């Protein structure tokens, strides 16, 4: 018979899952080309151009 997970066990599991998801997001963004992973830093200049 399985024992019921305590609140601290649940919080620890949630922390591990959150950390794993953050690391996966960082790895996924680092795999992109630099101009694609810094899109949120870009500012529009004129009609067709953008810069950091």
Give the global pTM: 0.59
Sign of torsion over alpha carbons 49, 52, 24, 28: positive
Whole-number Å distance between alpha carbons of 35 and 29: 11
The confidence band for 2, taking pLDDT boundaries of 50, 70 and 90, is confident
pLDDT in tens, 15-45: 999 999 999 999 998 898 887 777 777 777 7
Question: 6-35: string of b/e by CB count within 10 Å (b at 16+)?
Answer: eeeeeeeeeeeeeeeeeeeeeeeeeeeeee
Helix locations, 1-52, DSSP H: 7-31, 34-37
CB neighbours of 44 closer than 8 A, spacing ≥ 6? Answer: 50
């Amino acid at each position: 018979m399985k024992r019921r997970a305590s609140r601290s066990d649940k919080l620890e599991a949630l922390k591990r899952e959150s950390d794993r998801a953050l690391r996966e997001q960082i790895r996924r963004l680092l795999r992109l080309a630099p101009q694609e992973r810094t899109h949120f830093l870009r500012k529009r200049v004129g009609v067709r151009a953008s810069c950091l």
